[in-house]
Amino acid sequence: MPQFTSSASELSRLGKLAEYQILDTPSERAFDEITEIAAKLLGVPISLVSLIDKDRQWFKARYGLGATETPREHAFCAHAIKADDVYVVSDATQNPLFAENPLVTGAPDIRFYAGAPLITPDKYRLGTLCVIDTKPRELSVSDERTLELLARMVVNALESRRQLTRAQHQVRMMTRLAEATVAVSQAQTLGDLGRALAEGARALVVADATYLHIALPGGQPFVAMASRAPDKAPASIDWEARGKALQALGSFEAAQSKDIPGAPEIKGAWMGFVMGLDAERPLGDFQIWRQTTSSFVDFEVAMLTGLARVGAAAVARLRN
């Protein structure tokens, strides 16, 4: 059986699979119809859209098979995703890789297998479209071409689904942004503002801690820090020093750790904004941190920038 590692390429592949947000989702007609067409055109009893997860193969669509997944170590498809062309096993009982496989020695009694890899436009191999028979057989050139074309249809369906999912997510996020900015703009005190900004950031992105610092006319600053949970508050971050570095940049644009010269390395991802309406007179700063090391992506940056700019207007209104 193949040995699966946590190599950088495999971790990257699993990350790409996760981006499609398709694992453990209900059946969908587009995929179900392709497996039915594959089975009928090639004259086999079983056809599957199989996605290779870390420890399992999960079936987005299945024709002629009741199981929804099997262990990855038993998956023919775990071999097929490594192939550039259709991967064929004419008689599994005669193949040393599969002769003792539980899917061969027991149900569904695989003898013949052919799998076309599902390769994304950016060359990631997510799984296969495969056909299975309980009798040994060969795959004709014509059938091989049919399977390849149907596999491309599966990839196209995956891409369409991904784009739709992303668009729906962005609509949800825009609704959340609107709700968050209303709460920020209606804050009656700096304490209310700190809570509204923290809650807004958590509604828009994964945010484990937020820090708001406002310079008040009397000299004593207002500081509000919020943490999603006590163990999520990073003691290693010098919020005050980062705030000063932010203001020294002289920009109201979002800044991440890489933008702060000489900033001490911290675990997790960080972003900060200067709060103010006049570039020559910053009024404070707003910082966000999360435990995960993944950087904030462009859409997250845009959402948080919108929140911070509404917050800056509220700061100007409330600090006097």
Question: Residue 219 — pLDDT band, cuts 50, 70, 90?
Answer: confident
| 249 in the same domain as 119 | no
| 192 in the same domain as 67 | no
Higher pLDDT pick, 202 / 265? 202
pLDDT attached to residue 227: 87
| 128 in the same domain as 90 | yes
d(CA 258, CA 288) in angstroms, rounded, equals 14
The SS3 of residue 280 is coil
pLDDT over 50 (residue 306): yes
| DSSP element (H, E) containing 275 | strand 269-275
pLDDT over 90 (residue 22): yes
**Token pair belonging to 154:** 């599966």
pLDDT attached to residue 1: 38
Mean pLDDT of 21-34: 96
Within a 10 A sphere around the Cβ of 99, how many other Cβ atoms?
12
Higher pLDDT pick, 220 / 86? 86
pLDDT over 60 (residue 4): no
- Look at residue 40 and tell me if it is in a domain: yes
Share of the chain above pLDDT 70, in %: 95
Furthest-apart CA atoms within the chain: distance in Å: 86
| DSSP element (H, E) containing 59 | strand 56-63
Q: How many CA atoms lie within 13 A of 261 on its CB side?
A: 3
- Look at residue 178 and tell me if it is in a domain: no
| 83 in the same domain as 145 | yes
| 154 in the same domain as 83 | yes
| 198 in the same domain as 150 | no
- Look at residue 219 and tell me if it is in a domain: yes
**Are 69 and 58 contacting, i.e. CB atoms less than 8 angstroms apart?**
yes
- Look at residue 294 and tell me if it is in a domain: yes
Strands laid side by side in the 46-52 sheet: 69-71, 56-63, 46-52, 125-133, 112-119, 87-89
| 207 in the same domain as 141 | no
d(CA 294, CA 268) in angstroms, rounded, equals 7
pLDDT attached to residue 2: 44
d(CA 79, CA 240) in angstroms, rounded, equals 53
d(CA 127, CA 61) in angstroms, rounded, equals 12
- How many residues are recorded in the chain? 320
Domain containing residue 102: CATH number: 3.30.450.40
0.85 surpassed by pTM: no
Segments forming the whole domain that contains residue 157 = 8-165
| 74 in the same domain as 15 | yes
- Look at residue 292 and tell me if it is in a domain: yes
| 153 in the same domain as 62 | yes
| 241 in the same domain as 160 | no
Range from 72-86, 145-159, 249-263 carrying the lowest mean pLDDT: 249-263
- Look at residue 141 and tell me if it is in a domain: yes
**What's the mean pLDDT when you consider all of the chain?**
91
Mean pLDDT of 152-178: 95
Higher pLDDT pick, 319 / 85? 85
| 270 in the same domain as 157 | no
pLDDT attached to residue 7: 84
**Are 112 and 44 contacting, i.e. CB atoms less than 8 angstroms apart?**
yes
Q: What is the pLDDT of residues 274-285, one digit of tens each?
A: 988 665 678 899
| 161 in the same domain as 13 | yes
Give the number of domains in the chain. 2
Question: Cβ-count burial of 33 within 10 angstroms (0-12 exposed, 13-18 middle, 19+ buried)?
Answer: middle
Higher pLDDT pick, 144 / 281? 144
Tell me the DSSP string of 43-55: T-SEEEEEEE-SS
